[in-house]
Each structure stands twice: as C-alpha cells, then as structure tokens.
C-alpha cells in the first residue's frame, strides 16, 4: 500500500489500549493508530470504574503509558463518535476501525418500585465516588440505616465495601471529595448483598470477598444455611475459584454476628421481587427465597419458592449486569446489549452471517461484561489477528483520505476542542499536584469544562 495501515480505535479503556498494543507490534503491515475517547481523559474503567482503594490495580496504567509513547500512536480526547465525527467520516479517514466502547449502561431489575427515589444503578454510584463527569451531579441519601445491593459480582463487592468502610481509610485514595464527605456523614450501618443463586455460583473473586471479610469497620455476616453446598452445586464447587469462595464463606458463617459497628449481610438464593416505597422513597425490598436446580444445559438455575421476606432499606443499588449504548451507524444487538460480531469482526446485523469490511470490536462491546482487566489483552489479540488477515488479503475498504492530518483538519473545521495525549499528561500532573496538597493519591477533575479550562 506504500503507507502504514491507518486504524482508528474508538474508546481508550483497557480493551482499546490492548488492541493498540497488538496493532503496534505488527511489522507486516505497519500500522498507525489514532485513539478516540468522548472524555478528555483516557483509561476508561481503570480511571472511572476501579474502586479508589484499589490503587494497585490502577497501576496497570503504566503499561498503557508505554503504548501511548509510540510515535505511531495519537490520542484524540473530548471527541464523541456519532456527534463530533460520524462513523461514515471514520470509514473515509481510516482503513480499519475498532470499537472498544465497553458497556456504559446498566441492566434493570424489571420489578415494581425500581424507579422510586433511593433506587439507583451501581454504575451511577461507582461513577459518583470515582469523580466521573457523567455522574458528578448524582446524589445518594446516606442518612438511611440500611442499604441493599442487588448482585454479587465484583462491582457489587466494591459498592458494598465503600459503603461499609471507614471513610478515613478512603481519604488518601483518589475518591471524589464530594463522595468522601458524604460517606463521612453516612448513617448506613447494614448493607445487604443479594445473590439469586448460591455461593458456588457467585461471580465475585476470592480476593474481593476476602477484602470485605477483612474490613475493620464491618462484620461480614453469612447465614450457615445459605452458605451450605446443595446437591445442584457440587459440580460448580469443583472449580478452584468457586471452591475458594465457598470454603471461605462457610468458615465466615461460623463467626456469627461479630461486634463491629457495621454489618455486610451476604444473602444467597434470594431475588428481589418488589421495591416498597413510602412517600415516593424506598423503604424496603421484598425478596423471594429460591431453590437451585440443574437446567437442561447443565447449568445451575434458580427457581422461586413463593416464600417471601422483607428487608428494611432506604437505598437500593442494582448491580445485575451491564449493556452497551448503541453508536449511530454501528450495528447493535438489543438482546445481548453489545455489538454483533464473529470473533471480533462486526456483523452487518445481529444474526447476520456477513461482516462489515474493515470494522471490528474488542472488550465488553465484543463479548459482554465478563472477565477482569487482563482478560481484554487476549481478547484484543484475537481481534487484531483477524485484522491482520483481512489487511493482507485486502478485505477492507482503503481510506479515501488517509493523510494523518485529514482528521485533525476535519475536527478543527467543526470546532471540536481535541485533547491530545500531551494535553492529558498536563491534566494528569495537575491532578497529582492537587492530590499531593491534600494528602491524596490524586484529586480528579470531575467536570469536562474545568478540564478544558485548566488546559487553556
């Protein structure tokens, strides 16, 4: 072709950076990568989703820094695809386009009372305490005595831990100042965690549940009957991760109530069936006890027993999964909540056999919200291998305007204030300096306009 293959990556989270890494390692064909993000700040969920007390996990950013240092890499922050630049524009400017947009929306419970005041998505709570610009104006009533977190994945564990933790232990982290202040005045003393199946099917990692068990400010309370292994779960128990969880929880169940001021009550085999309100606000959650059975596919499923219970609660946070947000001009599978694809090649539509030439997907937008941060590396490599195959065989539509400056000129013409990686490093330095002044890891900007003002 006589020039590097021009690739656009939409999204700057882990999956986007791992895709960039794999692409830039290629020598045949050589590749230049332009990465776009709707926010001025890169790193996606590592910045906006990882809990503030998990600073070691955030150290993965050092890997992304090395990728961004490549002369064949450019960052275009504060650019919203579908608004500032269209997918049609991208097809003319690049030979290949990779969607690494994650799952930015949450799944609903679909039960009565879900829209009462005090009922929120865990996504919004996580964004709020992480100073994500989308959630800076959110407010959560922490004057209540008990909260219910629906779901037992790692995000649910993070949410429960932040609610139950001593706020002074969060102070040195990069938690949002408004969230820290609210947590200091919190009256929440009981956090219920609800799992519809048993401990052998719980999605949380052993490390996450053990962190809650190690809290100095709260006891992890588990009912021995709900921690017991039933007949249907014996196969799941053989998985090393599930075995660690079950063994740990059965041991914790022996400890009883404990004597710490707060309690995290982990419940299994229960499902919320209604959020009860009073005066338009959440006051309780009605749950149904479940029994477990093996489905035709051999997987353990839950069945309602008709036995009900009511948990007092003034705050409900649902953490039952995530789904993508459609991008104008890109196919979207409403049922699965992500971009339809065949191993990373974007399909013409959900259920279609034909792929769209030169369009690809990685990460949660490809496979749904599964796996840890590192899972995205293998996932990205799989997609990039297909991209290389397609480039070698000519199965793509070469860019009609491949000049690297064409995209810059287009965005300037449209009045878009792009944030380069050098700009981000300036913001990064400002946040670190602000944090140092307050004895924190960093003090984040939570407002896009303030970020742009700081750069001006």
Residues of the chain above pLDDT 90, percent? 90
pLDDT for res 1: 67
Q: Do you find a cis peptide bond into 29, omega within 30 degrees of 0?
A: yes
DSSP 161-205: HHHHS-HHHHTTTT--HHHHHHHHT----EEEEE-SS-GGG--S-
Assigned CATH for 5-104+323-419: 3.40.50.720
Question: What is the rounded CA–CA span in Å between residue 120 and residue 185?
Answer: 19
pLDDT for res 97: 97
Residues in the chain: 456
Nearest to 338 by CA among 354, 329, 325: 325
Residue showing tokens 């229960």: 270
pLDDT for res 296: 85
Question: Facing residues of 220 across strands?
Answer: 264
Question: What is the rounded CA–CA span in Å between residue 40 and residue 380?
Answer: 23
Q: Are strands 31-36 and 341-342 parallel, antiparallel or unpaired?
A: unpaired
Query: Does this model's pTM top 0.85?
Result: yes
Q: Are strands 355-361 and 96-99 parallel, antiparallel or unpaired?
A: parallel
Task: Please write the tens of the pLDDT for every residue from 78-136.
Answer: 999 999 999 999 999 999 999 999 988 889 999 999 999 999 999 999 999 999 999 99
Task: Please write the tens of the pLDDT for every residue from 71-80.
Answer: 999 999 999 9
pLDDT at position 28 over 80: no
Cβ-based neighbours of 191, under 8 Å, separated by 6 or more:
146, 147, 148, 149, 160, 163, 164, 218, 262, 263, 264, 265
Q: Say how many C-beta atoms besides its own lie within 10 A of residue 422's C-beta.
A: 9
Q: Which residues of the chain are in CATH 3.50.50.60 domains? A: 108-320
Instruction: pLDDT band for 219, please (50, 70, 90 cuts).
Output: very high
In terms of CATH, what superfamily is 108-320? FAD/NAD(P)-binding domain (3.50.50.60)
Mean pLDDT of 63-76: 97
Q: Which residues of the chain are in CATH 3.40.50.720 domains? A: 5-104+323-419
């Amino acid at each position: 072709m006589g020039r590097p293959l021009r690739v656009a990556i939409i999204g700057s989270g882990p999956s986007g950076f791992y895709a960039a890494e794999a692409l830039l390692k290629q020598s045949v064909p050589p590749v230049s990568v332009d990465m776009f993000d709707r926010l001025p700040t890169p790193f996606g969920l590592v910045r906006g989703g990882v809990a503030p007390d998990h600073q070691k996990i955030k150290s993965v950013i050092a890997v992304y820094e090395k990728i961004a240092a490549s002369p064949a890499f450019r960052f275009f922050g504060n650019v919203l695809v579908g608004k500032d630049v269209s997918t049609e524009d991208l097809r003319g400017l690049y030979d290949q386009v990779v969607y690494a947009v994650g799952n930015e929306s949450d799944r609903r419970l679909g039960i009565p009372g879900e829209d009462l005041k005090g009922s929120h998505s865990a996504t919004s709570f996580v964004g709020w305490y992480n100073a994500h610009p989308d959630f800076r104006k959110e407010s959560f009533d922490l004057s209540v005595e008990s909260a219910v977190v629906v779901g037992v994945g790692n995000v649910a564990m993070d949410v429960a831990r932040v609610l139950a933790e001593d706020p002074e232990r969060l102070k040195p982290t990069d938690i949002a100042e408004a969230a820290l202040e609210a947590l200091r005045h919190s009256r929440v003393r009981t956090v219920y965690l609800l799992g519809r199946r048993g401990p052998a099917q719980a999605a949380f990692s052993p490390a996450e549940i053990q962190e809650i068990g190690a809290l100095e400010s709260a006891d992890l309370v588990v009912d021995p009957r709900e921690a017991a292994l039933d007949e249907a779960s014996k196969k799941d128990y053989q998985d090393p991760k599930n075995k660690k969880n079950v063994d740990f929880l059965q041991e914790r169940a022996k400890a009883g109530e404990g004597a710490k001021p707060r309690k995290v009550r982990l419940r299994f085999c229960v499902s919320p069936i209604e959020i009860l309100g009073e005066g338009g606000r959440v006051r309780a959650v009605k749950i149904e006890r479940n029994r477990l059975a093996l489905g035709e596919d051999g997987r353990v499923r839950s069945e309602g027993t008709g036995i009900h219970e009511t948990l007092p609660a003034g705050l409900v946070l649902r953490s039952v999964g995530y789904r993508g947000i459609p991008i104008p001009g890109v196919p979207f599978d409403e049922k699965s909540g992500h971009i339809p694809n065949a191993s990373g090649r974007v399909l013409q539509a959900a259920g279609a056999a034909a792929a769209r030439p030169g369009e690809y997907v990685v990460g949660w937008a490809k496979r749904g919200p599964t796996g840890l941060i590192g899972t995205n590396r293998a996932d990205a490599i799989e997609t990039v291998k297909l991209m290389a195959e397609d480039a070698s065989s000519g199965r793509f539509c070469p860019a009609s305007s491949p000049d690297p400056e064409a995209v810059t000129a287009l965005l300037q013409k449209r009045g878009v204030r792009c944030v380069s990686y050098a700009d981000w490093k300036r913001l990064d330095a400002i946040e670190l300096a602000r944090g140092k002044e307050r004895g924190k890891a960093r003090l984040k900007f939570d407002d896009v306009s303030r970020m742009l003002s700081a750069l001006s």
